[in-house]
Amino acid sequence: MITVRKIAEAVDGHLFGDPDSVIYGVCELKQGKKGFISFIRAPQYHQYFVNSEATAVIVNESFTMETGSKTIIRVKNPVLAFAKVLEMFDTKPVIVPLFHKTATISTNANIDAQCFIGPNAVIEDGVTIGKGTNICAGSFIGANTLIGVNVTIHPNVTVYHNCSIGDNVTIDSGTVIGADGFGWITENKKHYKIPQIGKVIIKENVWIGSNCNIDRGTFMDTIIGNNCKFDGHIHIAHNVVIGDGCLFAAQVGIAGTTKIGNYVTLAGQVGVVDHITIGDNSVIASKSAVMQSVNPGSFYSGIPARPHNERKRQDVVIRNLPDIAKRLRLFERKFEDWLKERD
């Protein structure tokens, strides 16, 4: 349990109400409970404020409703503040430094003593792992891979050889980093494998969700920029270069040698073909198929993806096609009747 005063200090908020109220957890505003704290993310949720039983509510600085007996904390960004509150009530187990007796660790690995190496983890020759990093149960770290400080690699992650993972990276379970890219050459109906000898380089503060695949480059490197956040079930092919601050939702697939700029958002199930560029600050709507390069600051959607407003105008025309066809047939009949009358 935590007092409202302590929460307000943690989120740098202005407290109005009882600072000594004790908070036992977090709750939704609509299903609020006494002794719990909630938040209002947007004006449409104001309707639930009066009847909510939440003891405290985080609101933005322009909030003007009567607070009654509730304690409120005013902040600039209620969603960000509530995220910090969630951290305060997080029940994840604390991991302490330990090299588990069932882990297989090469004598040639360089691992900081303040790391956690979990049960049945495998650390191969030449691996370097920085301070405060957690390699959880069943994960594999291939030879000569470099891992920075405060990295968390969850259970059953595979990191192949010669990869590089920067500081403060999180990789969720089931993800594979550094498998061979899909490189083949066909001659006389036989497929020959093209060796994939590049690396995967993941920079700092990256989050990679569960069951993702990030392929190593052919001879160039596959690169993930700083502060990128990936959902689960994402595939990044060989030689792809991704800038800083990108957000990719589930089931995004990016084909080889494509370049993604900084702060690009790809919504769920977006597919991107090979050898193109998506410019900085672009947004691609869900289920879109990007077939050509995209200029910076663009908003694209559809199959094939095209500027969103253009696609909406085209969709209006497509929806009206049955009526247009009907009117055209009527015009044709009238024109034919007119021709007959002339004859």
The catalytically annotated residue of 14, 238, 275, 308 is 238
Contact 170, 188 (CB under 8 A): no
Interatomic CA distance for residues 321 and 319, integer angstroms: 6
What dihedral angle (degrees, nearest 10) is formed by the CA atoms of 321, 312, 303, 241? 170
13 half-sphere exposure, CB direction, 13 A CA radius: 33
User: Any idea which residue has 């409120």 for tokens?
Assistant: 72
What dihedral angle (degrees, nearest 10) is formed by the CA atoms of 90, 133, 244, 213? -90
Q: Hey, what are 184's tokens?
A: 């083949």
DSSP class of residue 294 equals: B
Cβ-in-10-Å burial (0-12, 13-18, 19+) of 342 comes to exposed
Contact 261, 242 (CB under 8 A): no
Contact 24, 63 (CB under 8 A): no
71: how many CB neighbours lie within 10 A of its CB? 22
308 has catalytic annotation:
no
Interatomic CA distance for residues 157 and 134, integer angstroms: 12
Q: Catalytic site residues?
A: 238
